[in-house]
Amino acid sequence: MADGAFRDVEVKAVSEPGDEQENTLTLELTQNGVAVLETSTITVSEAGEGSRLLMKVGDAVISAVRVMEPLHGEQLIMRLPDGLDASAIADEIRRQ
């Protein structure tokens, strides 16, 4: 991966999970965040099966997902891997 390959997706708000959606965060994106996510997911979805979209919070990579088609919209629901504390991740996102 080239230096500078990561781009910030600006977040307006982050909602922590309720009892029914354990380890899931809902992110409300800014217009810039929507544009970055859309551009990034277009690039990854067109790059082929071996390509992944890496998601970082702070310095930690929290997921590497295959993107089947570009993502659109102001809301992103993110399922976190088991073992990650959704509240701690939400707090880290709010600090950035």
pLDDT at 89: 93
**Domains along the sequence of the chain with CATH:** 11-95 (3.30.1360.200)
Rounded mean pLDDT, 55-76: 92
User: pLDDT digit string (tens) for 17-56?
Assistant: 766 667 899 999 999 999 999 999 999 999 988 999 999 9
pLDDT at 68: 92
Using CA atoms, how far apart are residues 25 and 78, in angstroms rounded to an integer?
5
DSSP annotation string for 57-76 = ETTEEEEEE--SS---SSEE
| pTM for this entry | 0.84
40 CB-contact burial (10 Å; exposed 0-12 / middle 13-18 / buried 19+): buried
Query: What mean pLDDT is reported for the chain?
Result: 89
**pLDDT higher than 90, residue 2:** no
